[in-house]
Amino acid sequence: MINPSKLTAIECAELIQKKEVSATEITKIFLERSKEVNSSINSLITISEDYALKQANKIDSNFEDFKNKPLLGVPISVKDVISTKNIKTTAGSKILSNYIPPYDAFVIKKLIDSGAIIISKSNCDEFAMGSSNETSYFGACRNPWDLETVPGGSSGGSAASVASSQNLISIGSDTGGSIRQPASLCGIVGMKPTYGSVSRAGLIAFGSSLDQIGPFAKNVQDCEKLFYSIAGHDPKDLTSSKNKLKNSKNLNNLNNLKIGICTDISDQGISEGVKKVFKNSANAMNKLGAEIDEISIDYIKESLPVYYLTAPSEASSNLNRYDGIKYGYSNQDGKTSWDTIDLTRSNFGDEVKRRILLGTFALSSGYYDEYYGKAQKIRGLIINSFNNAFKKFDLIISPTSPITAFKIDSQIDDPLLMYQNDICTMPANIAGIPAISIPCGLSNGLPVGLQIMGPNFSEGMIFSVAKLMESNMNLNLLEEVNI
């Protein structure tokens, strides 16, 4: 009998390949598990039962064509900001609550081609704006470690669904930390790839120069497998890179690696519990042979203000399209088309409205140079500082999140406090570089994540180091989850 919480994605694909279980049987097990668990966690907006069973049946009845696919029959949940043909894609918003895309995102085609089975669409903050999954129109999602706490955000449903074994892997989007922070709070692995290495075509846009799709999994190997399945050039995304990605290696030690502890984001505002667990991981890296030193990265502390000018400015322009005329929710109770636009757009949630107002202000004539323009100049300086740092260090580490999972409702009325949750993760989006979060220990019984950042297109090296850390520190914490 298969136990969903004991299975990994790689094992699942192997079992199906060896015909010890069929894709349909696996799909049914995880659909059942999703239905059972979702009622208490609220991590899924849609369970795509018919769609998933059809996909599984296709694999079982054309087994020879599929048998060598890397994600053969692996159940996956997809964040509800990624377009799925014929499956509702809501972005966690009332505005798109009935929207059914006419096409698949590039990554969805890649997933289907890799043999993965999309069994659900996961809950998220509205238009991916948030750090707690509480801004979703479909209600807050809960953290399987402690149902009174948040799973992080904005890809909270993706992380919580993996942590509670409703699916073995998930994909989310990360604009300022939305993959890594929920991965950290839910005790799983999540990666934001290099900007341009995974196509954004079909991703509902938030901050286009920062958005990046990336993988979630229970362990680093599964995460890596998923990453290489979705990465690759796509002519439909003009920022998609043609760079060839390097594979990871199986390392026995970290000799010859220089790793920098970024003091600017590893000290201030970090809880004592998180600091302690983080220090242990740095010591473990040192014991494995890495040379560890502290580094201060110029201007990195400006990442938060740069982000909160850049992301809302781009969002205010991206969200113009939701006017109640082209598609999505439409309120036509008024007399003119202007009334329709007003009445429709008043249905955005408070956080989304706040971002639109902030962004529209920052872009308005007379203020553009003062705000958006200045933010872009500082962004350039931050990119330069990282380039200089990577001349001296192979990788840079920090905690992923300054605190562990916090109580539902405890921060939602204090946006500035909420924004602080991403102080460690935003710099990688500003610079475009890849960064992973892996579980590295517990503080007061809740998971803490270690962030490893590397230069552009160094995913292979990041996975190599993360795999060694995982096996040496016995980092699979999910055994502790009881749901």
Give the contact letters, 185-214, x = binds to ligand GLN (CB under 6 A), - = no.
Answer: ---------------------x--------
**Adjacency order of strands within the sheet including 258-262:** 44-47, 117-122, 75-79, 169-173, 213-217, 189-192, 435-443, 446-453, 395-399, 258-262, 291-295
CA 388 to chain centre: 27
**442 exposure class (CB count in 10 Å sphere: 0-12, 13-18, 19+):** middle
Closest CA to 408 of 218, 188, 185, 187: 185
Which residue's C-beta sits nearest to ligand GLN?
178
Q: Which stretch binds ligand GLN (CB under 6 A): 29-37, 176-184, 321-329, 462-470?
A: 176-184
User: The tokens of 104 are what?
Assistant: 């698949």
The residue from 38, 48, 170, 175 that contacts ligand GLN (CB under 6 A) is: 175
Measured from the CB atom, the residue of 8 and 175 that comes closer to ligand GLN is: 175
Chain-centre distance for alpha carbon 190: 6
Amino acid sitting at position 481: V
CA distance 143 to 186: 7
| Under 8 Å between Cβ of 302 and 382 | yes
Of the residues 43, 48, 69, 79, which is catalytic?
Answer: 79
CB of 153 to ligand GLN, least distance (A): 6
Per CB under 6 A, the list member of 154, 318, 437, 458 interacting with ligand GLN is 154
270 vs 451: CA distance, rounded Å: 14
The torsion of the CA quartet 195, 199, 200, 201, rounded to 10 degrees, works out to 160
**Closest approach of Cβ 311 to ligand GLN, in Å?**
5
Which of the ranges 7-15, 173-181, 283-291, 373-381 carries the binding residues for ligand GLN, by CB under 6 A?
Answer: 173-181
Query: Catalytic residue at 154?
Result: yes
Give CA–CA dist 275/350, Å, rounded. Answer: 33
Interface residue with ligand GLN among 75, 101, 144, 177 (CB under 6 A) is 177
Residue 29 beta carbon to ligand GLN: minimum distance, rounded to whole angstroms: 31
For the bound state, the minimum distance from the C-beta of residue 78 to ligand GLN, rounded and expressed in Å, comes to: 15
Interacting residues of 366 by C-beta distance below 8 A, sequence separation 6+: none
Environment class of 463 (CB within 10 Å of its CB; exposed 0-12, middle 13-18, buried 19+)? buried
| Nearer to ligand GLN among residue 75 and residue 196 (C-beta) | 196
Least Å distance, CB 373 to ligand GLN, is 21
Told to check if 166 binds ligand GLN by CB under 6 A, we report: no
Which of 145, 419 has the CB closer to ligand GLN? 419
How far is Cα 126 from Cα 95, in angstroms, rounded to an integer?
A: 10
Decide whether 129 or 254 has the Cβ nearer to ligand GLN. Answer: 129
Q: Is 79 a known active-site residue?
A: yes
Residues 388-427 that bind ligand GLN (CB under 6 A): 422
- Judged by DSSP in three states, 192 sits in strand
Nearest CA to 351 out of 419, 407, 430, 424 is that of 419
Structure tokens at 419: 């924004």
The owner of tokens 């948030």 is: 130
Does 55 engage in binding with ligand GLN (CB under 6 A)?
Answer: no
- Other beta carbons within 10 angstroms of residue 242's beta carbon come to 8
Of residues 217 and 430, the one with the C-beta less far from ligand GLN: 430
Q: Which is nearer to ligand GLN, 55 or 398 (CB)?
A: 398
Q: Decide: is 176 part of the binding site for ligand GLN (CB under 6 A).
A: yes
Nearer to ligand GLN, 214 or 441 (CB): 214
Kindly tell me the sign of the dihedral angle through the C-alpha atoms of 427, 432, 438, 439: positive
Taking the complex as a whole, the smallest distance from the CB of residue 214 to ligand GLN amounts, in Å, to: 10
Of 174 and 264, nearer to ligand GLN (C-beta) is 174
Catalytic, 165? Answer no
Is residue 431 within the footprint of ligand GLN (CB under 6 A)?
no
Number of residues that bind ligand GLN (CB under 6 A): 14
Question: Which one of 71-79, 140-148, 175-183, 370-378 is the stretch in contact with ligand GLN (CB under 6 A)?
Answer: 175-183
Q: Report the candidate in 397, 398, 408, 401 with the shortest Cα–Cα distance to residue 447.
A: 401
- For residues 278 to 317, the per-residue mask of contacts with ligand GLN, x marking binding by CB under 6 A and - elsewhere, is ---------------------------------x------
Piece in contact with ligand GLN (CB under 6 A), picked from 92-100, 125-133, 285-293, 401-409: 125-133
Q: Could you give the CA distance from residue 367 to residue 360 in angstroms, rounded to a whole number?
A: 10
Q: Is residue 178 a contact residue for ligand GLN (CB under 6 A)?
A: yes
What residues make contact with ligand GLN under the rule CB under 6 A? 128-131, 154, 173-178, 206, 311, 422
Active-site positions read 79, 154, 178
